[in-house]
A and B are shown apart, each in its own frame.
Chain A
């Protein structure tokens, strides 16, 4: 990876930053500064626009680079991992999107608080939402730093640190100045770029094999050195029973967590009706499904064209499989085509990270301002405008993310994405489903459901091999390991549901029938929707 690639990649990336900053200024030129405008972009996006934005929010650099690398190195087990990311959208579509659009205004807590005593429920749901967002955000920030090191060869510590700071500063600017409207357009631009790049690479891979997928798979299996085993499960998530249970745990977290991700939920408030929310999910399923199908082709393509040794030689986790593949497909190192394709892939990967972090920052600033600040501020104090608080919160979240990103920049934080999904599935999904569908659900049940999922998920990770007790841990010198799995979902998700049920049956509070009726009627018909 020589100077030429770097210059072109940096140039393309600067163009993307310039365009997105342009969007942000254009959008904020005559902003009214209402909460509706800041959190929900005025609620006037079309289903297609929102579908692209959802896809943009969801397709992270981890899927573009990480999943293809996983398939290139471990074959079928990478595909196994990807399936959960798509199937999860059925939970969103069937049980969450329309109903949340109808009952809520800006956040997850809105839906729950409508039926319950507002203060404790908002504090609980706000806390877990911010936790999920920060976990996800730190993973992306550290990823951005490593990406620069990988793609541009700037392996120096300073280059990575400045990348983390730069990404953090840009996301704060997008969010605090442009709010949801700018963030949405950035997602749309990014989704189009990412899909365009993926389609081009996939077409080149298929052309290389004259459209013969069978030969592509056979070549991949042969070059991998594993033979037919490369096309069957077991190379990564096989082995001992701990590894197998770990994958089942991760799979559950992926499928149930998506519907509890705050930055995904907030996307449904940007369209005018529940029907539009449904149609945006249909768009998103098409786009995301198509994208993952193409990453599977790219992964096996990388194994067949480059071979796993070349992939592993550049980066042990396989994160450089796609850029290396682009270089080869364009004509090899030193050729113009290779240089251009490589630069495009690098720029698209940066754009992806920037857009994803902007979406998460916006959602967490909404949780801080709309849920936590509104519930915790001193009574009788002069109320500030909520949007002003949200803008400040975006700066605060950005600062925290930069600080954690810098602290963790040398650690292997790949587990954080799985953890964010596990917390979302354990703390956010149970309370959301119970509020929407269970007549007898009470305030205590809601509070217990959130903390009963959040606390076990976090504690189990602290006690797991990712933190201590093994050579790959964050703190290899320490030994606090009492829980064998890396992902807590298998235990913490049932605990979240159990705690919600237990809190409800033990509380003396009589469930408010009128409020339940209101939630049910509003959720299914859209009466009185914001």
Chain B
């Protein structure tokens, strides 16, 4: 790839269209990652350091620990679904447009087919 083609990426990176894609990606991923990581570390630390709290009964055989453990499964499924939906509705189309534009520009610059 020539120097000119490389400049295309700088130009695209500064474009409003790309920055919008990046902003949407980060706006979902950063808070969601902080949330699930804190929730998981909190769960593991609580289970290992204050097991008495986790042993409190809720209903029948079910105690706080069971609710928290199954809650981890549930939150993982929900976040997976939410991420996929957000990406499909808010990011895919815009990203694809930037991709075609970028590839048009690099093709024009380098003159070859790659």
Contacts and interface: CB of A to CB of B under 8 A. Distances in A.
B66 to A, nearest CB: 7
Contacts of A306: none
A203 B7 CA distance: 60
Given A285-B80, A521-B18, A527-B103, A76 B73 contact: no
B49 A95 contact: no
B45 A248 contact: yes
A527 B48 contact: no
Interface string A282-297: 1001100100110000
Contact of A244 (B48, B76, B80, B92): B48
Contacts of B80: 89-90, 93, 281-282, 285-286
Given A80-B47, A214-B60, A244-B49, A94 B83 contact: yes
Interface stretch (A226-234, A309-317, A369-377): A226-234
Contact of A233 (B6, B48, B76, B77): B48
Interface in A289-343: 289, 292-293
A400 B47 CA distance: 40
A214 B61 contact: yes
Contact of A217 (B29, B44, B61): B61
A527 B102 contact: yes
Among A231, A275, A292, A525, the one with the most B-chain Cβ atoms within 10 Å of its Cβ is: A525
A248 B60 CA distance: 29
A83 interface: yes
Nearest to A216: B61
Contact of B84 (A217, A229, A282): A282
A513 B13 CA distance: 11
B65 to A, nearest CB: 5
A214 B48 contact: no
Nearest to B43: A83
Contact of A237 (B43, B48, B72): B48
Nearest to B35: A90
Which residue, A229, A237, A279, A521, has most C-beta atoms of chain B within 10 A? A521
Interface residues of B, number: 53
A525 B95 contact: yes
Given A513-B10, A514-B7, A94 B60 contact: no
Contacts of B109: none
Nearest to B84: A282
A521 B12 contact: yes
A469 interface: no
Contacts of B106: 527-528
Interface in B67-94: 69, 72-73, 76-77, 79-81, 83-84, 87, 92
A246 to B, nearest CB: 9
A89 B65 contact: no
A231 B18 contact: no
A255 interface: yes
Contact of A231 (B47, B61, B77, B99): B61
Given A233-B65, A528-B106, A86 B51 contact: no
Contacts of A217: 60-62, 66
B33 A289 contact: no
A525 B18 contact: yes
B43 to A, nearest CB: 7
Interface string A496-530: 00000000000000000111011011101111100
Given A237-B48, A525-B102, A90 B76 contact: yes
A278 interface: yes
A221 B21 CA distance: 51
B65 A289 contact: no
A50 B94 CA distance: 25
A221 B98 CA distance: 57
A525 B66 contact: no
A218 interface: yes
Given A79-B69, A524-B95, A248 B44 contact: yes
Given A95-B33, A233-B54, A517-B10, A527 B98 contact: yes
Interface of A: 76, 79-80, 83-84, 86-87, 89-91, 93-95, 98, 214, 217-218, 221, 228-229, 231-234, 237-238, 244-245, 247-248, 251-252, 255, 275, 278-279, 281-282, 285-286, 289, 292-293, 513-515, 517-518, 520-522, 524-528
Given A232-B55, A238-B48, A521-B9, 18 more contacts: A76-B69, A83-B40, A84-B44, A86-B73, A86-B76, A87-B76, A90-B36, A90-B79, A95-B33, A278-B84, A285-B77, A292-B73, A514-B9, A518-B9, A521-B18, A524-B18, A525-B99, A527-B99
Interface of B: 6-7, 9-10, 12-13, 18, 21-22, 25, 29, 32-33, 36-37, 40-41, 43-45, 47-49, 51, 54-55, 57, 60-63, 65-66, 69, 72-73, 76-77, 79-81, 83-84, 87, 92, 95-96, 98-99, 102-103, 106, 114
8 contacts: A214-B60, A234-B51, A238-B48, A248-B48, A282-B84, A289-B73, A525-B99, A527-B12
